[in-house]
Amino acid sequence: MKKTLLIISPFVLLGLYICFNLFSFDKNQAVIENLQLESFIGEKSSANILFILIPDQEQEYSSNRTKKEIINYLSGLKFSLSEQIKQGKISIKTGTASDLLETVSKDPNLVKIVSSPRDFIINPQLLSLLESRSIPLILYTSNLTKMCLNTNNSIHRASNIWNFGASQDQYDEIYLSYLGQKFTKLGSELDIVIYSNEVTEPRQNTASISSLIQELGMKVARIVYVDERAADLYSTLRGILQLNGKLLLGIFSTKGLDTFLPQAHKLGLSFEMGLSLLTVHSDEELLEFKESTEELITPAFYAPEIESPENKNFVNSFSKSNNSVTTNLPTTNTLRGYVFGEVVNRIVSRLGGSSNTGDFLKTLFVLDGVRIQSPAGSSMISSSGMGIIQPFYVIRKHKNKANEVIFLGDISPNPGFKCM
């Protein structure tokens, strides 16, 4: 059997080693002391390589958070693929776009599927190469244009890119309807103040959200466009508090949320009227400002508080270190790694043995309609939307009591999306 090299970027090596010496996620054993990185990646060499794409360090403004997100993603991946790894059917590599380009160029039949846990800009040369080799690329993005490629000045939807994330327009109506029901008293309108980052969020997008809110029977008291690069954000927020709104709906970039939360906390915002995020943000982002996020409502695809046997097992396996002290909880990234691993399980089982480049992509389409039972609930592979139908939740975070998790329904990928 052909030997393969293990490529680990220095960007995540230290974080991965520390994490995987703390945690094990074998279903029958929650704790394994001194777990080595090599045993996580694969105890035996394999012809089926899963490549986990990570950003170059220069692209990231918050490397520690990125490490946590990738570590959590890999943790969930190992939870579902542990048997395949032990049997030598699967090996995992992590690396940057340059690493992947080099690997695929040297041996076109080595990498069978690629996943990018972080939503970042990927080298167009790499995207074209993966499509030409029919290697599936799994993204988690809210920007569907990232499923488009520009080849010879012709834009088309890539035949190999699947999105296991979701765009905001897939869930905004069901989410805003929930807010309306929660905050509107019988016979009264809900006045909403929209806080929008004009640096990264086009005004026409915010305007369309405003129109949807009004169509749902609520009232937009005011839209506040904010340049989050401005130094005097404190005064802006103080002015927002004086507005006569019942709900503050925040549309943030990641950097904008980093700026907003500490300033809001300094003002002592309790938001009796309600603070709600419209964009799904990673748990790793919110945990950095735990004190500032104890009283808000946020859309989500996973929460440790979900009541199900699968999730309780998932949380228990994740949250105990080698001294049996709770140190952490699984996040949405952990859940995403788990679901991706379960999809790979289905592909490998369908193929049976060794496979050629392109077989994973063909099989992924064949698996249309197959359900994946995960700690978040039941997801389903959708070949028409090149994504997954997945459960969607609202989390109400409280300062002095346990978080509430409300299931709102399943959201589906957009099969009608076209690249313009």
CA separation for the pair 153, 135 (Å, rounded): 22
pLDDT of residue 118: 85
β-pair partners for 198: none
Predicted local confidence at residue 296, as pLDDT? 83
Highest-confidence segment of 52-56, 234-238, 347-351:
347-351
Helix, strand or coil for residue 103? helix
CA distances from 366 to 10, 151, 228, 384 (A): 37, 27, 45, 11
Q: What is the DSSP string of 298-341?
A: EEES--TT--SHHHHHHHHHHHB-TTS-B-----HHHHHHHHHH
The Cα 75–Cα 273 span in angstroms is 38
Lowest mean pLDDT among 37-46, 147-156, 225-234, 267-276: 37-46
Percent of the chain predicted with pLDDT > 90: 30
pLDDT category of residue 311 using cuts at 50, 70 and 90: very high
Higher pLDDT, 49 or 184: 49
**How do residues 266-282 score in pLDDT, each as one tens digit?**
776 654 556 788 888 88
Distance CA 267, CA 257 (A): 15
Residue ranges of E strands in 170-233: 191-197, 219-226
Residues 67-77: pLDDT tens digits? 888 888 998 99
Average pLDDT, integer, range 302-326: 75
Q: Mean pLDDT across the stretch 142-155?
A: 87
Predicted local confidence at residue 306, as pLDDT: 93
Q: Are strands 137-139 and 111-116 parallel, antiparallel or unpaired?
A: parallel
Greatest mean pLDDT among 245-254, 301-310, 346-355 lies in 301-310
Residue 33, pLDDT score: 23
Structural tokens at position 115: 């996943």
User: 169-279 falls under which CATH superfamily?
Assistant: Response regulator (3.40.50.2300)
Residue 299 pLDDT:
93
Q: How far apart are CA 75 and CA 84, in angstroms?
A: 15
* Confidence (pTM): 0.83
Place of tokens 């997801």: 379
233: pLDDT strictly greater than 60: yes
Q: What angle do CA 322, 307, 29 make, to 5 degrees?
A: 25
Residue 340's nearest CA partner among 390, 300, 304, 305 is: 390
Q: What string of DSSP letters covers 333-402?
A: HHHHHHHHHHHHHHHHHHH-S---TTHHHHHHHHTTT-EEEETTEEEEEETTTTEEEEEEEEEEE-SSSP
For residue 331, give the nearest of 275, 280, 398 by alpha carbon: 280
Please tell me the predicted confidence (pLDDT) of residue 273: 52
Q: Average pLDDT in the 71-100 region?
A: 89
Residue 165 pLDDT exceeds 80: yes
Question: Rounded to an integer, what distance in angstroms lies between the CA atom of residue 80 and that of residue 345?
Answer: 8
- Which of the two residues, 393 and 189, has the higher pLDDT score? 393
CA atoms within 13 A on the CB side of 232: 4
Give the Cα-Cα-Cα angle 383, 419, 228 (nearest 5 degrees).
Answer: 105
Residue 169 has pLDDT above 60, yes or no: yes
Q: Where residue 16 falls among pLDDT bands split at 50, 70, 90? A: very low
CA pair distance 113, 360, nearest whole angstrom: 7
Q: What was the pLDDT predicted at 17? A: 39
Q: What is the CA radius of gyration of the chain?
A: 22
In the chain, CATH 3.40.50.2300 sits at 1-166+300-420, 169-279
Q: Which one of 3.40.190.10, 3.40.50.2300, 3.30.1950.10, 3.30.420.40 gives the CATH number of domain 1-166+300-420?
A: 3.40.50.2300
pLDDT of residue 325: 37
Give the C-alpha separation, 121 to 42, whole Å: 28
pLDDT attached to residue 336 = 95
Q: How many angstroms separate the CA atoms of 28 and 314, rounded? A: 11
Residue-wise pLDDT for 365-383, tens only, equals: 999 999 999 999 999 999 9
* Mean model confidence pLDDT for the chain: 79
